[in-house]
Amino acid sequence: MVRLTLTGNHCVAYAVKLSKVKVVSAYPITPQTTIVEKISELVDLGDADIKMIRVESEHSALAAVYGAATAGVRAFTATSSHGLLYMHEMVWWVAQARVPLVMAVVTRTIGPPWNIWTDHHDIMDQRDTGWLIMMAENNQEVLDETIKLFKITEDPEVYLPGIVGLDAFILSHTVEPVEIPEQELVDSFLPERRQPYVIKSGEALIMGNVPSDLLTNSRMRWDIHLGLRRAEKVIDRVDMEWGKLTGRRYGGLTECYKCEDADYLFVGIGAWVGDMRLAADRLRAVGMRFGVLKIRYVRPFPYLRVLDSVRGKKGVLVFDRSVSAGSAGPLFLDLVSHMYPHRLNIPIKNVVAGLAGYEVNYEDFFRIGESFVKEVSETGWVSEFLEFYPGR
């Protein structure tokens, strides 16, 4: 075990090397660029045995790693924002072809205007595609989860691709002390690549021709949903396995911070969950018992786990760093749509904040939490279920 100070992006690069990925293809885009730069450096120094395909676009980047993965080797790509949108067609294609591979998404605002700072519109735009989607809170988690995702996506119960998400600059370009596991440890954790089929010369296997039977096609489509549901158990199991080897467990699908005795919960994804923890502590210090529910996997959406965490609370505040324009924040929508059928009727509010990279920190969460408690305790409910946080 080595301890280094690394940016989130370099954590991704080391995880890719340790996972013995064979093919990497990517197209530069800020803030993803330093991932492929670092992998290229590791390759050129002879530290990583990876074949790079330096393509002309993100659409081709995902196409190339799809080709490599379908031909039988472990493959990886990374992108952000407009790059992710440009490859969106291939995002669907890879999932429906049931080809496991891993992609890092460094979340970034979508233009116009041109804006490189973090928000979550790019990653949340992929929710319906059939990929596993996780958001990391810190750089150690970025490194660990990238390795784990290879194991999760290549599990026969799952056989779907996966995204590890990290916030632009807050994680991607900020150094933190990180433990790098030994290669032997990763080797003992990560089995040889498994995948549902391999395209080989001399074997007339055809992937993707027109179906004769639409019910079969329909079932294939639904099985992507079932695969993601099955992934819930795999994610939790792999989290325990990794925990045993490294001492680092993250809770699998979700992580709860002081949830048990909390009256109120912050719910969120990504790097700003760290600020929520700090805000919860400060609020507790002034008599408001807050906890934080960090949703690690947006897909599969761990609704049973989430419902268990929010049940019996006096109020829930869901923070979204993106908005499904014309509706509400996507995390909130996922949560409330599972609350009603489970007869869970508690005050819940969606705060959309930090769009376009606008800075939101623990003081903001503190103030929002404070006024939420005031509103709920005075009226017993919330007047506006959806609010845009205008900043201080």
Query: Given the rule CB under 8 A, which residues bind another protein?
Result: 22-23, 25, 51, 53-57, 59-61, 63-73, 75, 89-90, 93, 199-212, 216
Report the nearest approach of another protein to the CB of residue 52 (Å).
9
Instruction: Find residue 256's DSSP bridge partners.
Output: 293
Q: Is 173 exposed, middle or buried (0-12, 13-18, 19+ CB in 10 A)?
A: middle
Report the nearest approach of another protein to the CB of residue 269 (Å).
29
Report the nearest approach of another protein to the CB of residue 58 (Å).
10
Nearer CB in complex with another protein: 1/214: 214
How far apart CA 127 and CA 137 sit, in angstroms, is 19
- Tokens coding 47: 């530290």
3-class DSSP assignment, residue 188: helix
Q: Which residues contact 142 (CB under 8 A, 6 or more apart)?
A: 8, 11, 12, 15, 136, 164, 166, 171
Nearer CB in complex with another protein: 26/231: 26
Amino acid at site 10? H
Report the nearest approach of another protein to the CB of residue 21 (Å).
11
Nearer CB in complex with another protein: 44/363: 44
Phi-psi region of 98 (alpha: psi -120 to 50; beta: other; left: phi over 0): left
Report the nearest approach of another protein to the CB of residue 57 (Å).
6
Handedness of CA 150, 152, 153, 155 (dihedral sign): positive
How far apart CA 158 and CA 382 sit, in angstroms, is 39
Nearer CB in complex with another protein: 191/391: 191
Nearer CB in complex with another protein: 207/240: 207
Report the nearest approach of another protein to the CB of residue 25 (Å).
7
Sheet of 315-320, strands arranged across:
254-257, 290-295, 264-268, 315-320, 348-352, 386-388
Report the nearest approach of another protein to the CB of residue 212 (Å).
4
User: What's the angle, vertex CA 248, arms to CA 157 and CA 1, rounded to 5?
Assistant: 110
Nearer CB in complex with another protein: 203/260: 203
Nearer CB in complex with another protein: 61/136: 61
